[in-house]
Chain A
Amino acid sequence: MRSLWRAVDPVTARSILVVCAADGIVGFAFAAITVGADLPLWLPTLLSIVVFAGASQFLLVGVIASGGSLLAAVAAGLLVNARLLPLGLAVGDAVGRGTWRTLIGSHVLTDESAAFALIQPSGERRRAAFWLCGIALFLFWNVGVVAGALVGTTIPDTDALGLDAAFPAIILALVLPTLRSARIGRAVAVGVAIALVTAPFLPAGVPVLLALLGVVVGLPPRRASTPATPALEPSGSPE
């Protein structure tokens, strides 16, 4: 852990701490809400250790607390976690090799740890940023959850604190530097449009996956010698 702190630059380390602090408070609220809904004390702690994916934990507890079936609750949680597969594909190189490394590294793969890895150049700093964020977040999240389960008789109003705006802002600040080409911009515009249009009708998690269709319009050119498509030829239109 100490060597990880040394391997990332101080600015990144501070940013990771900020994310951990914000998520720790959200974890506290998650546990307080769960216990407040008359669910057992051990449930938020167990979920936070073995699932460790905030949005799916909130969904699972929310569906159960509102009287939904366990099957629906698990399905909702899995759908919202489906994005972890493409995230793992994109930043899996930051995890490293070896059975334990792969298992633990995969478990601490979250939006935040993936985003911190993403903004680092490849190599040692990318690995360090991923692991530092992943491990620190696991610790802060679980400390927050245990505290919330034990003392959370009053549920902190995370909306009144504006913490619901913090998560999108965190990811936005991390992803902005990667939006550097017009091609990526086009793909993002189409993807966001798909997600927003479908979100009112589809379960949480699915619109974000559908957004990946936007990648099609951001495809890099295959080869410099690839002939232009007929539609782009000025004389190609038969009309």
Chain B
Amino acid sequence: MSSVTIGLLVAAGVLAVGTIALRLAGVLLRARIVPSERVQELLDTGVAVLFCALIATSALIEAQEFVGWARPLGVAVGGVLAWRRAPFVVVVIAAAAVAAILRLLGLP
């Protein structure tokens, strides 16, 4: 085996072990606690905050720079449709289609 192959294998292995450790830590911690109503409310708020921050950053920023308008506008259209209770399929396809069409029109 070449040193490049070994390096890639080790990198994949370390990322895999680290990732399952992160996942297990959360799940096992949860199995140890019986959250009170207040803590459960805190967890619900936390996951909503986490997801919204994930949505905002992945819609607007990539490699620490603004991604251009097509993606956030597509996500916004999807968001409005979701808010108006459109079917999930419609939300996802509309978000992708808007971003794709805007790019076809030359918007980055």
Contact = CB atoms under 8 A, between A and B. Distances in A.
Interface SS of A by simple majority? helix
B11 A70 contact: yes
B55 A118 contact: no
Nearest to B13: A50
8 contacts: A56-B19, A77-B19, A85-B25, A86-B50, A95-B27, A162-B97, A207-B57, A220-B41
Contacts, number: 278
Contact of A200 (B15, B64, B89, B96): B64
Interface in A99-144: 102-103, 105-107, 109, 111, 114-115, 118
Given A88-B27, A195-B56, A165 B12 contact: no
Interface of B: 5, 7-16, 18-20, 22-31, 38, 41-61, 63-65, 67, 70-72, 74-75, 78-79, 82-83, 87-89, 91-92, 94-101, 103-104
Given A172-B55, A195-B57, A40 B5 contact: yes
Contact of A47 (B15, B59, B89): B15
B61 A200 contact: yes
